[in-house]
Chains A and B, each alone.
Chain A
Amino acid sequence: MTFDILFFKDAAEATQQEAGTLMDDLRLDVLLDAMAGEDKRMADACKRVLLRPLTNEKALSARRNVRADVAAHESLFSGLMTAAREAVDGAARYAEFQKPRYDHIIPPQKKFLTEIHIARLYLKCLRNIHAMVTGEAGAFRSEAVQSLMAMIRTRFSTENIARMEARLKTLDSLRLSDDLTLSASVGQGLKPAGVVLNCLAEPGASRRKHLRDNETQIRLSSTTLIRNTDDVVQSAVFPLLQTMAHSNKSIRMFLEALDVQLGFYLGCAHLRDRLKKLGILLCEPEITPGANGIESNALQNAVLALQEGRAPAGNDVCFLDKRLVLVTGVNQGGKTTFLRSVGLAQLMAQCGMFVAAAAYACPLYVGLYTHFPSGEDTSRGKGLLDVELHKLSGIVDRIRPHSLLLMNETFQTTMPLDAKYLAELTVRAFLDSGITVLFVTHLYAYAAARYADHRGDTLFLRAKRDADGRNTYVLQEGEPYASAMGSALYREVIGG
């Protein structure tokens, strides 16, 4: 990568959860839709970033600085992105001519001409980009953006572009004829060695046939000789083609990187606009690397807000020094929403984005994992618990100490007694491995037993109804709640 304003090299990758499940569990598709809309390439860029949270404080703050700069100069950056994208797309159309097809081989000269076309296209774009950047008066705060701008100003300066333009013009002569001069000495087996291409069509040379004093003409009297001569020309053109292709490739990589990397930041700007319109509170998260938990005021689920088109209820949450958060409570009480909002906020914070809360302070977790069993995975003909445990074992393969694990109704698929046993076993194992667990559960027996233990390391939250029996969607700290899901639902639906 020619430049890196996403600071990807600091991102964790190896320990992350399988991309698909994190996308589904946190409903990231909704978020991506708000960021990129119809723009598939931008959506891809945003997805790539979201699935690779940063674990490095420095990279994170650098990314936040870039985001601020992009937000401040949105029109410039979206102009840059559009220009880059147009050039890349245009070149891709030409690249069709480059591909070998089953019925013919493309001679190097033809490839060469295509490369010249592509180079012209890029040159136009670079000139454009250079003009945009030099026309921008404002200053940039982020060092990365500054160096990118400086690079654009110097590397794509008017002189450099003019020089390349002139060179392309010389190369054009290959389009007209095979005019070239080679110098060589004699090597092994009388074959030419140390061959150098001196020049293409000599300037000022007339197209008339004429010999110089010391020249001997070889008559191309047979097709074999003509073919041999063509081979010589092609071998001479080939390194030229390589040089050309390399230059084009490096420009293309630069433009693609520009497209992708700016895509994420512009996506953030779009998301910010959308959420603000919905009246969601946004804040810059406060990263405290040494902290042992998350503290937040009025934490909202951004995805739910986007889905419902209105601001959902906010939760205050604080589990500093707690390793386990057990959430119990009534059905439809906002437990899962809460779990998602924590996951989402943490993910966004670690991607250098803003967070949908009044205030949000968090450490940097090594990884973020979700275990949201769904009843749909029965296709393999295994038992539900089997599938669930398979999924959990997939997480165990990847999870590392100092990660955050969100478990939603885990072990709900088996008998209560087994479930309690499993929950005790796995949660204890996770906690002892230094993993912070948020566990939404109906396993009252498990939660109650844990509550009775009076351990300091657990925070008990519960979703309750207000006095009228309506769900408040706000969680409170307190003793685990025997949810009696069935009877509550029965009352709600049937009445009683």
Chain B
Amino acid sequence: MRFHSILFPSAAQQAKAGNCPWLSFRARRIGAEERYITRGNKTFPAGKNHLTNTQQTPAFFADTGLASILDEVLAGREKNPLRNVYYALSIDADTVYYRQNVMRALEQEKLYALFLPFCRAVEGALCTMADGRKAHTPAQADAYAVNGALAYCDAVRELLKDAGELDIPSDGLCAFVDAVRAYAQTSRFTQAETLLRRAQDEIEAMTFTLRIRNGMVLVAPGRQDGDFIRDTRGDLIRVEDCAETPPRDIRLFSELALNPLGMRIADVLQTRYPGAFALLHKAAGATDGIPEPFIRIFAQEIYFYDSFLSTVSALRARGLPFAYPALSGGAVRLSGAYDMDLALRQDKIVRNDCSLSADERGIIVTGANHSGKTTYIRAVGQITALAALGLPVPCEYAELPLFTGFFSHFSDAEEGAAQQGRLKEELLQLKPILKQAGTGGLVLLNEMFSSTTAQDAQVLATQVIGGLIGGGARVLCVTHNIGHVPGRMVSMAAQVVPGSHKRLYTVVRAPVEIHAHVDALIEKHGLTYGNIRERIGHDV
């Protein structure tokens, strides 16, 4: 059997993708039932607000907001084992372009309208066939199997009919269509199809009349004339004709498996139409091995693209751009980048640029509280990860290297209860990152060492960053206090309107803001000039 996948060009590349050592860094925010807050000497269970990031989520996904993007992208598809495909970040450049081509092809309306209905039909057929296994009577099980298998055959025919006229600009999709075409010409498929269709036609041709009288149920073959409901509608006076919803169709036996009465009716039909039922049974025997495994896999894999594409088009409709990144040797150039997680939750979005030459090892972002520093590195983190998945990324133009490792360290400033213990814990968390993030890794650091003294924090941060870039990793670091920018790092600052505290949420290259830390503090406590005047004036 040949290898068919629209996620990987070859089996070897698929096998490699599952092997991501850095995925073992799990989100520190774990399930609510296991999380406690310590205040003084008392311990309280945490609220439910940390539920989204479960133990399964890699730390990098949780920290950059990719986890909640995935929640949104995969909403309603929890059953599909797609999440693990998203976690398999370490793929090679070939695979990235392979996937980009599939995605580009699916963005064409015609191709989307070709493949997606096909996959839905195959899924529906699978469902119907699965229903057959829940039926209580052999005849009904046969019927479901035949119905499902025939729906699958129809979907295959439909796909081939439409695909012939289209030009498909993706190797993965082309190979799939070719494989389906070859499969549809095998005698196994054509013979099964003919048999199934004959059986279904015979079954659908059966009709019966059901008479219910004084506690008797009488079944006879053939239909009777007359539609009582339609006649009643004609006779009743209605004042306005427009707003009527047509009455519901009569649906008997809503449950999946036939109930006892349904079974009795089926029994009667079986004695009346023995030929049809014999054919049905024969046809059901021919449904083994339907659908083909590679088609079934395709139907699952396509949702990797479809689910992301639907989120992308929702954001595009709001005027937010997405771009297919080009892979570079080391330089990073992003323009108009934004935080996709934030964009899914709020209307107003500020877009930023990011550029690093191949020599520059990273960025240090400073600025006032709530001025968009963390959002900035989150956005960049998201873009690198999505690029590595071969997906379009939330910015106008993107050119970036293919990172091989994704690490993040976002400290929770609120949890600083025991000073020394907290610092030690933080260092313990940083240790494996320092070890593993060698060449080609990306490390996001957010507010390191906020629990210790400013002096300590500066020294430690400089050491950590120096260690990381010395090992060849790229670093994005958000901090309130860093004495000087280490060599080969770039300093960027979140902008505020000069003279006021209005945030612009843009981040540009600028020297480190010395007063940012102090400004943020006095503002937090309401001690700016304006605040003080206002408060004193009010008391008087």
Contact = CB atoms under 8 A, between A and B. Distances in A.
B260 A222 contact: yes
A250 interface: yes
Interface stretch (B74-82, B229-237, B314-322, B487-495): B229-237
Interface of A: 2, 119, 123, 126, 155-156, 160-161, 163-164, 166-167, 171, 177-192, 195-200, 205, 207, 209, 211-212, 214-218, 220, 222, 224-226, 228-229, 231-233, 235-236, 238-240, 242-244, 246-247, 250-251, 253-254
Interface in B456-479: none
B237 A156 contact: yes
Interface string B189-228: 0000000000000011111111111111111111111111
B229 A239 contact: yes
B356 to A, nearest CB: 51
Interface in B326-378: none
Given A183-B209, A184-B207, A189-B147, A228 B260 contact: yes
Nearest to B227: A196
B168 interface: no
Given A235-B252, A239-B229, A250 B239 contact: yes
A240 B227 CA distance: 11
B212 A243 contact: no
B218 A187 contact: no
Nearest to B142: A190
29 contacts: A126-B237, A163-B235, A164-B235, A178-B213, A181-B209, A181-B210, A183-B209, A183-B223, A184-B208, A187-B204, A191-B253, A192-B210, A192-B252, A192-B262, A192-B265, A198-B227, A199-B226, A212-B218, A214-B222, A215-B211, A218-B218, A225-B261, A228-B260, A228-B262, A232-B210, A246-B244, A247-B238, A251-B237, A253-B240
A190 B210 contact: no
Contact of B239 (A2, A189, A226, A238): A2
Interface in B88-141: 128, 131-132, 135, 139-140
Contacts of A239: 229, 247-250
Nearest to A241: B247
A181 B216 CA distance: 12
Given A182-B209, A184-B207, A209-B216, A243 B239 contact: no
A252 to B, nearest CB: 9
Contacts of A253: 239-240
Given A197-B227, A246-B238, A251-B237, A235 B232 contact: no
A371 to B, nearest CB: 30
B224 A183 contact: yes
B258 interface: yes
Contact of B250 (A177, A181, A196): A196
Given A184-B207, A197-B228, A229 B236 contact: no
B144 interface: yes
A168 to B, nearest CB: 9
Nearest to B205: A185
Contacts of B224: 181, 183, 198-199
Q: Among B131, B207, B221, B235, which residue has the most Cβ atoms of chain A within 10 A?
A: B235
A177 B213 CA distance: 8
Contacts of B238: 246-247, 250-251
B212 A232 contact: yes
B313 interface: no
B516 interface: no
B321 to A, nearest CB: 37
Contacts of A236: 250, 252
A177 B144 CA distance: 35
A218 B218 CA distance: 6
Interface string B260-273: 11101110110110
B258 A164 contact: no
Contacts of B248: 238-239, 242
Contact of B215 (A126, A160, A187, A220): A220
Contact of B210 (A167, A182, A238): A182
Given A186-B269, A251-B237, A191 B252 contact: yes
Given A195-B249, A243-B232, A189 B135 contact: yes
Nearest to B147: A188
Contacts of B144: 188-189
B135 to A, nearest CB: 7
A239 B247 CA distance: 5
Interface string B265-284: 11011011000000000000
A220 B214 CA distance: 11
Contacts of B444: none
A164 B236 contact: yes
B214 A177 contact: yes
B258 A191 contact: yes
Contacts of A179: 212-214
A251 B147 CA distance: 45
Nearest to A177: B214
B256 interface: yes
